């Protein structure tokens, strides 16, 4: 062999585009948090890990109590900015191993895994309330935020991902019924301690 012919083709642009498309498929466009698809995948993985390790997993379902009035009063652009700030605050409240997701609208979830005590879950839930109690300053206005948190714990409440989400959602509505700006466990006795 005396000669070689080499044809080079730069695929960088295609690879970058594919990576962007994959990111968009699994992340919320507004907050860049994991979306429902990634949340469901991470919840299944976290439940499997909790079963193997014999630890608790908590699913927190969060909903802003006053988001509709904020949107109505300040407009949807202000509402979007508020959701981005809330997302950043939520991420700051949990460990890097936990998952904060935006499901839709003003609904967020947090998967807390590798826990040994219910008290650990209470502390994180209270930290979230404390973190969001300060008004969010947007374009010269202080916008107060209130949040209700429903908490379902595996294995006590359920080990099924769909059931656990539904139970956490129901617990969130109980928190709203109690006046909002609070957390509420699906297992009633855990709210009393």
34 exposed, middle or buried (CB, 10 Å; 0-12, 13-18, 19+)? buried
Q: What percent of the chain stands above pLDDT 70? A: 99
Q: Are 110 and 99 in contact (CB under 8 A)?
A: yes
**What integer pLDDT is reported at residue 53 of this predicted model?**
96
The 10s digit of each residue's pLDDT in 39-56 is 999 999 999 999 999 999
Summarised one tens digit per residue, pLDDT across range 87-114 is: 999 999 999 999 999 999 999 999 999 9
Is this model's pTM higher than 0.85 or not?
Answer: yes
Active site residue ranges: 106
**Position 193 confidence tier, pLDDT thresholds 50, 70, 90:** low
- Are 87 and 100 a contacting pair, CB within 8 Å? yes
pLDDT value of position 71: 87
């Amino acid at each position: 062999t005396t000669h070689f012919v080499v044809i080079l083709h730069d695929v960088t642009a295609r690879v970058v585009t594919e990576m962007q498309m994959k990111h968009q498929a699994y992340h919320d466009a507004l907050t860049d948090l994991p979306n429902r698809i990634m949340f469901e995948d991470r919840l299944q993985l976290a439940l499997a890990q909790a079963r193997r390790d014999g630890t608790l997993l908590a699913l927190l379902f969060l909903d802003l109590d006053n988001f509709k009035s904020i949107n109505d009063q300040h407009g949807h652009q202000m509402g979007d900015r508020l959701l981005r700030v809330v997302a950043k605050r939520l991420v700051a409240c949990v460990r890097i191993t936990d998952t904060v997701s935006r499901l839709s609208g003003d609904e967020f979830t947090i998967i807390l895994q590798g826990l040994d005590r219910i008290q650990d879950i209470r502390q994180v839930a209270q930290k979230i309330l404390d973190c969001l109690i300060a008004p969010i300053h947007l374009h010269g206005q202080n916008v107060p935020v209130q949040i209700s948190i429903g908490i379902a714990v595996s294995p006590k409440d359920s080990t099924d991902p769909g059931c656990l989400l539904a139970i956490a959602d129901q617990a969130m509505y109980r928190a709203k019924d109690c006046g909002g700006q609070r957390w509420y466990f699906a297992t009633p006795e855990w709210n009393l301690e």
